[in-house]
Each structure stands twice: as structure tokens, then as C-alpha cells.
Chain A
């Protein structure tokens, strides 16, 4: 079952395991420059407001009602990233594993292939949480994504339009599959715990006149690894899938649809960087990154298409030099030496 609470989508599978719960957040962020350079990860600036489409049945396109799901507002050229948070399972001392499919306009953001109700390994068309904490864009090559940037559907910029030649679906599609319970219990057996002192315990505790549909288009490049599934394909409980259609509503019409203002646009990368605020890098040295597919690798960025069309669609796209870099490094055991590229 999928619930919407505090602007987060909560996928829970009580029939599989009482702790099989994954939360997906839609984070506002600044748009990184689309200048050919590889940037670190931009910050999270809070969640986008998310609402049920059914709550605005009289004001959204009938197609949205047919799809069901939820909606959130995005300004043209605004960026977003997805945060995956799986529930910690006490006693097993791990977060419950999930396979997650993410598509934009029904084109997979990891493999570039058309939406499939099946998980595939070659090419991998999903990610695995908790190993994969975030997804910031389209996987264009190994270790590199192009940022998710909202553009009006039909303008020719979205990944869907570049890959299919049509502007039909827009939005963002999510499907979540929990690991089978018996596999989970076999792979992550209960941990024998020593008795904890009390102190330690405390420490742990109206139909739219204008088309509101936005699609996600490839923006600037950033360094992000998408990890290969470390489990077996058969470990996932395929029939327990939860899926949700996330409609992207142009922020210019969000207020007329919902009656509430959309959030302010995010600061520019230049303003943010000049203020000395941090950028991020994340590596998990125990994991292997997937190779990007040629399908997504062949996508043109918003700026590249804009140049072909003679349009300037990304204002304030100046290059920046992030100085304040925060690096998260996971997966190295104590004393292990990291092997880099050489």
C-alpha cells in the first residue's frame, strides 16, 4: 500500500514483512550548470509539496485522474532529486532492501528503455535501496548522471520526447518491490545482541486552461554512481509491487489547481556557491556502479537542444567552482585501502 504523508510517499508491504517500508521524497534543489562539466551533488532544499490528484479532480486533466497517483509543482527549468529511505529492521540491524524502478515519461531513468513491469538485469532497469540513497538524474554513463530538469511537455526537451518522439505521458513513474521475506531472513539473520546499558540504549533511540504537464529533461552532468544489484533477481517479491504515477504540474498553474502557492524557485548555483554552501559527493566502495546505456548516453541536454532551436531556456546557467565539498564515503572496512581509477 502507498500512503502520502508529510509530502513523502510511503510504500509499505505488511503482507511481506512488518518492517518492509520504503519512503520516497522529492527534493527541491538548485539546477547545476549545463556546461559540459561534471559537478558534485547539489544540496536538498526541502521536499516539494505533494498532493493526491483525486483531491483536485475538477481541476486536473482527465488523463491524470485515469493515471491516479499524486502531483507536485515544478517551475520550468527547476531541478529535483529523489531520496530513498528504507525502514531499519530492529534485531536484524539492517534497512529492509527494495528494488526501485524510476521512469520519466515512462522511459526508465537507469536503462533508457520503455517502462516494463519486469525487473531486468541486462541492462539493469532499477536501483536497490538502501544501497542507493539518491537519484539525481538520468544515468548517461558509468558514474555520471544528467540532472532531472523540468521542461513543459511538448516543447521537445524531455527525455520521453527525445527517446520516443512523442509527448504522451510526462511525469515520473515509480515502482517498488520488497525483498522476499525468507530471502531477507536468510541473508540478514537476527543479530545476537549483548545487553546494552541504559545509556547506550538512550543514545539509540477547475480543468486547466493551459496544459500543466511537465516532463523531466536531461540537465547538467554530475558525478553519481548507480549501483549494480548485489542480490539475485529472484530475491525480489515481484508480485508485491507498489507503483505510483507522480504528475509534474507546472508551478504557474499549481495555485489555480490546488489553491496554495508553490514554493519559491531554488537559488541559482552561482548564488549558492558564492555563499560558501556545501556540495556533496557520495561513494560506496563496496558496490559496483552500472554502466550507462547508449540510449541514455545519447540524450541531448536542455542547453544543447536549446542551442539547436535558437532558444535560451536555462537562464543563469553560468559555470561555478564548488569549493565547499562534503564527501560521504561508505563501504570501506577499517584499514582497507581504496582503489581508485588509474
Chain B
């Protein structure tokens, strides 16, 4: 599986091919880190950054933050707090869903949404 840095570089380079504002320097400035640090992260010489920086990178690069976090070996803070509230229930649930096909998992999240009447 592709690592976090490798994926980040690939996505950023793809965006830079059509938009120069996706250079390491400019992207680093927008997410609030040093360009040299971002460059090292991309080359795997530094571990992935904090959740906050990953969320900012996801937003800049139009990537799914949960997917970027997973590539970085992290789980978002909101998911962690959901699991911490009912750890046994969610641990059991996730283990049960582990081998379930995608369409079956999708059915679980296809709850009918209620709104304002």
C-alpha cells in the first residue's frame, strides 16, 4: 500500500501540473509548515504531520481527510471520541464489519435522513 508521503507528493504534483500554487513552498505556507519539513514528509524522511495539518492538506488538495489520516496511520479525533464513548460496542461493530462487502456496509449508512418539516 502506498505510504502517506508518497501519496501526498503524487497528489500535489498532479495539482501542480495545472496550478503552480501547488508547489511545495506555496502549499507549505498555506497549511502553516516549513517547506523543508513538507518536502521531507513527502520523501518519507519525517513521519506524517499532526491531524490538524493533515486536515488542512486534505482541504487544500481536495482529498478525503479520513483517507489521508488512515494513510498516516491515524484516526481522526472525532472518531476517537465516538469510539471512546462506547468502546465495546464500536470495537465489536468494526470487527463485525471488517469482512462485510462494501454494498452491505453502504446499506448500514443509507439511513433515511429526517429534516425540518
Contact = CB atoms under 8 A, between A and B. Distances in A.
Interface of A: 1-5, 9, 52, 54, 65-70, 106, 115, 169, 173, 243-245
Interface residues of B, number: 9
Contacts of A70: 112
Interface string B35-74: 0000000000000000000000000000000000000000
B85 interface: no
A169 B115 contact: no
Nearest to B116: A66
Nearest to B113: A68
Contacts of A68: 112-116
Contacts of A65: 115
Contact of B112 (A9, A169, A173): A9
Contacts, number: 42
B110 interface: yes
Interface of B: 107, 110-117
A69 B116 contact: no
A67 B116 contact: yes
A223 B112 CA distance: 33
Name the prevailing secondary structure of the B interface residues.
loop
Name the prevailing secondary structure of the A interface residues.
strand
Nearest to B108: A3
A10 to B, nearest CB: 9
B117 A5 contact: no
A300 to B, nearest CB: 26
A67 B107 CA distance: 21
Given A3-B107, A5-B107, A173 B114 contact: no
9 contacts: A2-B111, A2-B114, A4-B110, A9-B112, A67-B117, A69-B115, A70-B112, A106-B117, A173-B117
Nearest to B115: A68
A115 B117 CA distance: 10
Contacts of B112: 2-4, 9, 52, 68-70, 244
A285 to B, nearest CB: 36
